[in-house]
Amino acid sequence: MEKHLLPADIERASMEIIRRELKEKGLYPAAENEAVVLRAIHATADFDYAKNLFFTPGAAEKGARALRAGADIVTDTNMARAGVSRPALARLGGEAHCYMADERVAAEAKARGVTRAVRAMRLAAEKHPGAVYAVGNAPTALLELCALMREGFRPALVVGVPVGFVNVVESKEQARRVCEECGVPAILAMGRKGGSTVAAAICNALLYAAAGMLDPEKR
């Protein structure tokens, strides 16, 4: 009979397994990135995230610091937004936003012949200039963030983990270059892997670190 029945017990046991296997594989992350890597693996059961997650220097701490100061989170999908911890955000005074279903976004995207993700990022940048931006699905959203940063936009952090086969790898490589050039902190899942679940998991790792909620008993 499985002895771990309560959610907090299950999470702790899972994290212990992940830590042990990372050490066995020689893939244990740097302490500053540990929470993000562990939660990405916890959300996916995929240890490749120990290798493909790229961090600009101090990105995790800078993201947590911004959230601790009340920064909002903007996502490219409502699925990612739904996965972000509301209790942690509320404790820190922030909110999560997604403009993919906004009527203005749909109308402008159709008129301009671009994806809704492009217009959603541009609208969000106007409304939430100092937010953490998390892209888990649409590479066009990540590419639009790159264009905005070249225009002077400076988000608190870019989490770039779109998943798929078309423009995904290229969008992440471009985001890496642009974020480094513009001095914007970034956490990116290089290669094809990612998704809304991973975007939310990374945001939650930062939120929990910022709010002192890494221990599940404190949530």
Say if 7 falls within a structural domain. no
- Residue 217 pLDDT: 85
- Residue 4 pLDDT: 57
Query: What is the residue range of 104's domain?
Result: 50-218
- Residue 32 pLDDT: 97
- Residue 21 pLDDT: 98
Say if 179 falls within a structural domain. yes
- Residue 137 pLDDT: 97
Say if 3 falls within a structural domain. no
- Residue 3 pLDDT: 62
Other Cβ atoms closer than 10 A to 11: 17
Residue partners of 159: CB distance under 8 A and separation at least 6: 63, 132, 133, 134, 135, 136, 186, 187, 188, 199, 202, 203
Residue 126: burial class (beta carbons within 10 Å; 0-12, 13-18, 19+): exposed
- Residue 219 pLDDT: 82
Global pTM? 0.95
Distance linking the first and last C-alpha atoms of the chain:
27
CATH of the domain at 97: 3.40.50.10230
Say if 6 falls within a structural domain. no
Provide the domain count of the chain: 1
Name the active-site residue from 4, 42, 97, 128: 42
In the chain, which residues have pLDDT < 50?
1
Q: Which residue is associated with the tokens 């939310």? A: 200
- Residue 1 pLDDT: 45
- Residue 167 pLDDT: 96
Q: Is 97 one of the annotated active-site residues of the chain?
A: no
Q: How far is CA 80 from CA 1, 58, 96, 114, 198, in A?
A: 34, 24, 10, 22, 8
